A and B are shown apart, each in its own frame.
Chain A
């Protein structure tokens, strides 16, 4: 997008202002409080419907409706209109936004899609940089820098997606763990019922077929909850329901045995030991969250490693790596994750040692409580129910032990007491007597039948738990792959991006600081959730940007980083950059470098630059960043009228007007500093030798003669070169230019007393109109000799020590200074 025209009505300190950048760069300069920032605010409002200055910390109480319009006007009076040219749209558009309806933008014929896309882009605020923003890039924590950079690069959405996928992976991982624990508990019940410490198909079949044999059945090849009793004889008196009191009674002895075992001192000591080991291991594992994260991405790294070929290129994104580096990186990553994986496997084993007896005891307890409640033994049941609650709490801690199991040092005995309360003995003995009528009532067939009934229930639970685990496992694998793949792709893309931005940033900074920091390098790397930035300091070592560099250097870094980031956005439709007084701390020499960066590296962008510094505005003009036509000086601000815009740099028309009105002091006041800045730039651009002054107080009398002498010398050199190449037309033109320069130069010296007054230019103010008129005219003509008549840019030599050409920014002036070696002078 290019801004062709901007009209501001009653916004902030502006009553009415019409600017015509014509799609070119625009510089607005003037003293503090002249309304420069109001232009930035107005443009911000037009593009976004808000004023960014009113948002963020320290802006409480500032609102668009109350503080956006001019102090004497209402929101419906405040509006911004612009004529713009979109890259993607064939015609110019006129858009208007009013502060009474900040969300609506008016566009004749409706808002086209290209404009909608641009306005959406503008919402990110990427188009504007003020000094406050610079600090956010440089002197801030990695997380704050990441937030700023991600917002600028429109990566916030990417981070939102990453967080979502990671969260979903976490949810599914927890579900899978929970399902695995449930399956383990069900398996523990089956093992408890078949009386084995292990569980496998053969052990189960042996157990089942032995009972089936006792019931007159044949052996089966596969045991399921549905076929354990198929084809066997039902013993006399056995109910068809699986949970008859009689059925419970015959197998309850094993449940009482289970509780007895849990209560045994040896068993409790064993669990206390497991508890201690578990706490110790958990403390170690939890101390390295980064490694835990690496474990979660272990599978991705394992799958990626075989795909890395000898070129070293990343198989995921094609990012170039030095030969062998990516392989080494992945191998280290895998090694670290595998080491922790071993710890996690040990953790699983320990949890299992704990969880199995807890689950088996809880199941046995539940069955005994059920049978006791059926017989109305509520008094004895109470202690068992309380124990059951403790077991369930322990079971929950063990399920997801990595996050939940308490590791704080405490009374180890309390841990195992939880699993077998001391007051259990009495109620348990009474219940045993009441619930177990005696072995004579249970025949072998009846016992086999009831055992298969219970096993069927246990297997049914296991089958359901297994199915749930499979579903949870599949979902987790998908969630993990999705999150890992996304993170891998993001890391690959962002690593490339960060490397590109680092290089570009350092490159731009070197262009500005080439003379003092020609070896400057920067590293921008992801740092957990943030982005760390370190920069080179004179080849010593990488430092944070605010560690060793001055404030001016930091401002320059912020500006260069911002420009590198804006460029990294790809192909934005905006291409508009607003720099609001961003070079305050940067010295004049380095500002020239910034001019070069803007002029040469960002030709496709339109810059709107505000500054209170006339020298910087002047530098932007003389270096060709902005033409004289697009220099706007704001002056004479009053609350009733707002600022008065003055177009152009050296205000020749203003000076002429003042002179015609006999206001010599005013004309002199305008001309004097402008000429001094102009010839200072001319001397700099042409590489003129200015006599050194230890007090640093050079003035026009130092700069102008040096610049003039240098230009005469260069024109002479160009004439000699043209002659050596036999370029007669050029020779003619150059001689004319030299003659003109000589004539104009002579005019500036025509009146010796006036020339002397140049040196002591304060005397100009005492001249009469007739005295000052020729001086003004001579200097006006003199200045024209140093600029291109086409682009208005100042003439310069690319190589000041050994100049080979005399050029202007647009290339219309391009005099060769190198003679033909074979030619004659």
Chain B
């Protein structure tokens, strides 16, 4: 899981979140991969990057 995330609690929350959106019909594999990438780089708090990841679908 997130390599740069040092809080075990945060890791747990991110794992649960990503696991749930992975099985959601609203998310394609590419978007999930983009979000996983952001999570693993500790960039999920970057608004511009998260927006870009969510907008990438269907573009």
Q: A471-B58, A482-B17, A485-B21 are in contact. Are A160 and B45 (CB under 8 A)?
A: yes
Q: A154-B7, A489-B20, A497-B9 are in contact. Are A474 and B45 (CB under 8 A)?
A: no
Is the C-beta of A274 less than 8 angstroms from some C-beta in chain B?
no
Within 8 A of B (CB), among A461-491: 471, 474-475, 477-479, 481-482, 485-486, 489-490
The CA of A481 and the CA of B24, in the complex, are separated in Å by 9
* Residues B58 and A474 in contact, CB atoms below 8 Å apart: yes
Is the C-beta of A429 less than 8 angstroms from some C-beta in chain B?
no
Which residues on A sit within 8 Å (CB–CB) of B17? Answer: 482, 485-486, 489
Which residues on A sit within 8 Å (CB–CB) of B44? Answer: 161, 164-165
Q: Which of A153, A164, A168, A490 contacts B13 (CB 8 A)?
A: A490
Is the C-beta of A519 less than 8 angstroms from some C-beta in chain B?
no
Within 8 A of A (CB), among B2-59: 5-10, 12-14, 16-17, 20-21, 24, 26-27, 31, 35, 42, 44-47, 50-51, 54-55, 57-59
Q: Which of A121, A471, A493 contacts B9 (CB 8 A)?
A: A493
* Residues B20 and A485 in contact, CB atoms below 8 Å apart: yes
A-B contact count (CB 8 A): 95
The CA of A215 and the CA of B41, in the complex, are separated in Å by 63
The CA of A482 and the CA of B39, in the complex, are separated in Å by 12
The CA of A157 and the CA of B24, in the complex, are separated in Å by 25
* Residues B8 and A570 in contact, CB atoms below 8 Å apart: yes
Dominant SS among interface residues on chain B = helix
Q: A160-B45, A492-B16 are in contact. Are A155 and B9 (CB under 8 A)?
A: yes
Smallest Cβ-Cβ distance to A569: which chain B residue: B8
Which residues on B sit within 8 Å (CB–CB) of A475? Answer: 54-55, 57
Q: A158-B9, A168-B50 are in contact. Are A489 and B55 (CB under 8 A)?
A: no
* Residues A482 and B6 in contact, CB atoms below 8 Å apart: no
Is the C-beta of A167 less than 8 angstroms from some C-beta in chain B?
yes
* Min CB–CB distance A151 → chain B (angstroms): 11
Smallest Cβ-Cβ distance to A300: which chain B residue: B20
Is the C-beta of A768 less than 8 angstroms from some C-beta in chain B?
no
Q: Which of B21, B24, B31, B54 contacts A172 (CB 8 A)?
A: B54
Convert A119-153 into 0s and 1s, putting 1 for each residue whose CB lies closer than 8 angstroms to a CB of B. Answer: 01100000000000000000000000000000001
The CA of A171 and the CA of B55, in the complex, are separated in Å by 12
Which residues on A sit within 8 Å (CB–CB) of B13? Answer: 158, 486, 489-490, 493
Q: Which of A155, A165, A172, A482 contacts B7 (CB 8 A)?
A: A155
The CA of A163 and the CA of B54, in the complex, are separated in Å by 16
Is the C-beta of A117 less than 8 angstroms from some C-beta in chain B?
yes
* Residues B6 and A154 in contact, CB atoms below 8 Å apart: yes
* Residues B47 and A120 in contact, CB atoms below 8 Å apart: no
* Residues A474 and B26 in contact, CB atoms below 8 Å apart: yes
* Residues B10 and A481 in contact, CB atoms below 8 Å apart: no
Which residues on A sit within 8 Å (CB–CB) of B20? Answer: 316, 485, 489
Q: A485-B21, A486-B13 are in contact. Are A157 and B54 (CB under 8 A)?
A: no
Convert A503-518 into 0s and 1s, putting 1 for each residue whose CB lies closer than 8 angstroms to a CB of B. Answer: 0000000000000000
* Residues A164 and B50 in contact, CB atoms below 8 Å apart: yes
Is the C-beta of A317 less than 8 angstroms from some C-beta in chain B?
yes
* Residues A168 and B47 in contact, CB atoms below 8 Å apart: yes
Range, interface on chain B = 20 to 34
Which residues on A sit within 8 Å (CB–CB) of B27? Answer: 478, 481
Which of B10, B31, B46 gathers the greatest number of chain A CB atoms within 10 Å? Answer: B10
Which residues on A sit within 8 Å (CB–CB) of B47? Answer: 164, 167-168, 171
* Residues B10 and A157 in contact, CB atoms below 8 Å apart: yes
Which residues on A sit within 8 Å (CB–CB) of B45? Answer: 157, 160-161, 163-164
* Residues A120 and B6 in contact, CB atoms below 8 Å apart: yes
Which residues on A sit within 8 Å (CB–CB) of B51? Answer: 168, 171-172
* Min CB–CB distance B42 → chain A (angstroms): 7
Is the C-beta of A691 less than 8 angstroms from some C-beta in chain B?
no
The CA of A474 and the CA of B25, in the complex, are separated in Å by 11
Which residues on A sit within 8 Å (CB–CB) of B50? Answer: 164-165, 168, 482
Which residues on A sit within 8 Å (CB–CB) of B5? Answer: 157
Is the C-beta of A88 less than 8 angstroms from some C-beta in chain B?
no
Which residues on B sit within 8 Å (CB–CB) of A490? Answer: 13
Which residues on B sit within 8 Å (CB–CB) of A569? Answer: 8
The CA of A172 and the CA of B53, in the complex, are separated in Å by 13
* Residues B31 and A478 in contact, CB atoms below 8 Å apart: yes
Is the C-beta of A571 less than 8 angstroms from some C-beta in chain B?
yes
* Residues B46 and A164 in contact, CB atoms below 8 Å apart: yes
Which of A117, A471, A478, A485 gathers the greatest number of chain B CB atoms within 10 Å? Answer: A478
The CA of A493 and the CA of B17, in the complex, are separated in Å by 11
* Residues B9 and A117 in contact, CB atoms below 8 Å apart: no
* Min CB–CB distance B46 → chain A (angstroms): 7
* Residues A157 and B31 in contact, CB atoms below 8 Å apart: no
The CA of A317 and the CA of B51, in the complex, are separated in Å by 27
The CA of A255 and the CA of B20, in the complex, are separated in Å by 52
* Min CB–CB distance B20 → chain A (angstroms): 5
Q: Which of B9, B10, B42, B54 contacts A478 (CB 8 A)?
A: B54
The CA of A168 and the CA of B26, in the complex, are separated in Å by 16
* Residues B42 and A157 in contact, CB atoms below 8 Å apart: yes
Smallest Cβ-Cβ distance to B7: which chain A residue: A154
Convert A604-639 into 0s and 1s, putting 1 for each residue whose CB lies closer than 8 angstroms to a CB of B. Answer: 000000000000000000000000000000000000
The CA of A158 and the CA of B58, in the complex, are separated in Å by 29
Which residues on A sit within 8 Å (CB–CB) of B26? Answer: 474, 477-478, 481
* Residues A157 and B57 in contact, CB atoms below 8 Å apart: no
The CA of A168 and the CA of B35, in the complex, are separated in Å by 13
The CA of A153 and the CA of B11, in the complex, are separated in Å by 13
Which residues on A sit within 8 Å (CB–CB) of B24? Answer: 481
* Min CB–CB distance A163 → chain B (angstroms): 7
* Min CB–CB distance A243 → chain B (angstroms): 32
Which residues on B sit within 8 Å (CB–CB) of A171? Answer: 47, 51
Q: A164-B44, A164-B46, A165-B50 are in contact. Are A153 and B9 (CB under 8 A)?
A: yes
* Min CB–CB distance A471 → chain B (angstroms): 7
* Min CB–CB distance A469 → chain B (angstroms): 13
Within 8 A of B (CB), among A573-621: none
Which residues on B sit within 8 Å (CB–CB) of A167? Answer: 47
Q: Which of A120, A477, A478, A489 contacts B16 (CB 8 A)?
A: A489
The CA of A514 and the CA of B43, in the complex, are separated in Å by 47
Smallest Cβ-Cβ distance to A486: which chain B residue: B17
Which residues on B sit within 8 Å (CB–CB) of A153? Answer: 7, 9
The CA of A497 and the CA of B12, in the complex, are separated in Å by 12
The CA of A813 and the CA of B59, in the complex, are separated in Å by 75
Smallest Cβ-Cβ distance to A476: which chain B residue: B54
Q: A163-B45, A171-B51 are in contact. Are A493 and B16 (CB under 8 A)?
A: yes
* Min CB–CB distance A711 → chain B (angstroms): 48
Q: A161-B44, A481-B26, A485-B21 are in contact. Are A121 and B16 (CB under 8 A)?
A: no
* Residues B16 and A479 in contact, CB atoms below 8 Å apart: no
Q: A474-B58, A478-B26 are in contact. Are A157 and B16 (CB under 8 A)?
A: no
Q: A155-B9, A481-B26 are in contact. List 12 more A-B contacts (CB 8 A).
A: A155-B7, A158-B10, A165-B44, A168-B54, A475-B54, A478-B27, A482-B21, A482-B35, A486-B13, A486-B17, A489-B13, A493-B16
30 contacts between A and B (CB under 8 A): A153-B7, A153-B9, A154-B6, A154-B9, A155-B9, A155-B10, A157-B5, A157-B7, A158-B9, A160-B45, A161-B14, A161-B45, A165-B44, A167-B47, A168-B54, A172-B51, A316-B20, A474-B58, A475-B55, A477-B26, A478-B27, A478-B54, A481-B21, A481-B24, A481-B26, A481-B27, A482-B17, A489-B20, A493-B9, A571-B8
Q: Which 8 pairs between the two chains have the least Cβ-Cβ distance? A: A489-B16, A160-B45, A154-B7, A570-B8, A164-B45, A486-B17, A161-B44, A489-B13
User: Which B residues have a C-beta under 8 Å from some C-beta of A?
Assistant: 5-10, 12-14, 16-17, 20-21, 24, 26-27, 31, 35, 42, 44-47, 50-51, 54-55, 57-59
